[in-house]
Structure 1
C-alpha cells in the first residue's frame, strides 16, 4: 500500500489526530470538537480540530461513517465533502440527522466522519460540437436497471428498468 505525506496542524490541541481504525482502511476517522444535539432532520456544521496541507494533485474526501448511518441515521450532507489541496482551514463536516423520530446526541471526541486522501487529476476541457458515440449514450438515472418495481408517475415502466413483476 502506498502512502502520501500530509502536513497537519491541530486547531484544537486536545483532539486526537485522524487515525485509521485498521491496517489497510481507506478512511481515517475524524472527530467532533463539540457536544451536539441534532433533532430529526436537523443539520449542523461541526469542527474536527484539524487542518491539513495536501500536496498538489491530491484531495481529501470526507465520507460518512457507515455504522453511524445505519444505526443512528447520521449522515454528511454534501457527501463526500471535498478538501482541496490549497485549503488550509479547519476541516468541518456538515452533519445531518436522518432519523425521523429520535434526537441524535454527539459528544466532543466522537468519531463523526472519515477522511479519504486520493490522487486527483485536473481536466483540460475541450468544447466540441458533438460527443463521440458510446454504448450507454444519454441514458441516465436508473438506466442500467435492477429495479423491477421502478415505474414512472403514470405507472409505466421507466426506460432501462428490468422487466418482470418483481415487487420491492
Structure 2
C-alpha cells in the first residue's frame, strides 16, 4: 500500500478530515473543500470554480493520484469535474485544488468542509514514444469515434 504524505497549506482548517475512504471496499478517498474564509462557493448553472482542499501531497514515484467526481453529487445535482479524471503527478508539491463544474440546471452551494471529490491512487507506467515506418494493421483500422458500435 503506497503511503501518501500530506501537509496542510498555510491557513487551512486543520480540523477537517484528511482524505478518507468511506467504506472498506472504496477505491476513492473523499476530499473536502477547505475554503480560506470558511464560507461557501456558489456555482451557478454552467459555472466552474477551483475549490481548494487545504492540502499538499507527496505521492511516491511510480504513482499518481486521480481526482474524480463523487457520483452522488453528479446524479443529484449535476456536479462534476470537467477534467476528470484529473491527474496529480508524483513530482507536484503545490496546493491541491479541485476544478468543480455545475452541469445542472440550478445553482449549487459548496460549503466549507463538504466532500467535493474523491482521490484514487493508481500506478503509473511511462512509455517511450518512437517514430515508426508503419503500424500493425488491426480489424478496426482507423475507425474512430463510435465506429465499433456500427453495424452494416
What is aligned with 1:117? 121
Q: Is the Cα–Cα contact under 8 Å of residues 73 and 97 in structure 1 kept in the other structure?
A: yes
Q: Is the Cα–Cα contact under 8 Å of residues 15 and 49 in structure 1 kept in the other structure?
A: no
Structure number, greater radius of gyration: 1
Query: Is residue 38 from structure 1 mapped to residue 43 from structure 2 by the alignment?
Result: yes
Q: Which runs of 5+ in 1 are unaligned?
A: 146-159, 164-168
Could you say what the CA RMSD is over the residues aligned between the two structures, in angstroms?
Answer: 1.2
For 2:81 and 2:126, how far apart are their aligned partners in 1? 25
For 2:43 and 2:71, how far apart are their aligned partners in 1? 18
For the residue of structure 2 that corresponds to 1:144, the secondary structure is: helix
Matches within 5 A, 1:44-55: 44-55=49-60
Matches within 5 A, 1:16-31: 16-31=17-32
For 1:31 and 1:41, how far apart are their aligned partners in 2? 22
For 1:88 and 1:117, how far apart are their aligned partners in 2? 16
**Comparing both chains, which one has the higher relative contact order based on Cα–Cα distances under 8 Å and sequence gaps of 6 or more?**
2
Cα deviation 1:48-90 (Å, max 9, x = unaligned): 1111111111011000011100000001011111100000111
Q: CA deviation at 1:7?
A: 0.9
For 1:7 and 1:137, how far apart are their aligned partners in 2? 44
Normalising by structure 2, report the TM-score. Answer: 0.91
Q: CA deviation at 1:99?
A: 1.0
1:134 to 129, 132, 138: 138
Count of residue pairs the alignment pairs up: 145
For 1:88 and 1:81, how far apart are their aligned partners in 2? 15
What is aligned with 1:151? none
For the residue of structure 1 that corresponds to 2:148, the secondary structure is: coil
